[in-house]
Amino acid sequence: MITVVFACVHNAGRSQMAAAWFELLADSTLARAISAGTRPAAQVHPEVVAAMREVGVELSQRVPRQLDDALAGSASLLVTMGCGESCPVVPGVPREDWPFEDPKGQSIERVRVIRDEIRERVRRLVHASGWASQRGPRADSPRPAK
């Protein structure tokens, strides 16, 4: 089983969105996502919860978790998202840095842009890696806001 770890500072925005998109877009029999942070927040940022809820993804019950060396070492791929030098470098684990803006404190309009940019980057990753789900159209595009 391939494990992709998405990491950011607070594990309350970018990495949570990336892991949620990965869960929707990837075939769960081939790959899974974990999200974590170098300094986890108490909860997912409310503006992130709201933006993801608009597309039918519920993050309000997710709890940010600590990124430690053991978790990073269990990854098949470590995707860092703004944690810079505080994210671990693990010998033998490929690492990509996705420089997305932090959604914390941003307007809902800006968080939507970040959400959609992250979705597209995750979509490209799962397709390029051969992990894409065959579940149908919902996996490639969010549901419209209600």
Catalogue the active-site residues.
8, 83, 87
Q: Which of 118, 85, 123 is nearest to 103 (CA)?
A: 118
**How far lies 87's CA from each of 7, 13, 61, in Å?**
7, 16, 25
Q: Which two tokens stand for residue 51?
A: 């933006």
Give CA–CA dist 125/22, Å, rounded: 9
**First-to-final CA distance of the chain:** 35
Is 68 exposed, middle or buried, given 0-12, 13-18 or 19+ CB atoms closer than 10 A? exposed
Which residue is it, tokens 């430690």? 68
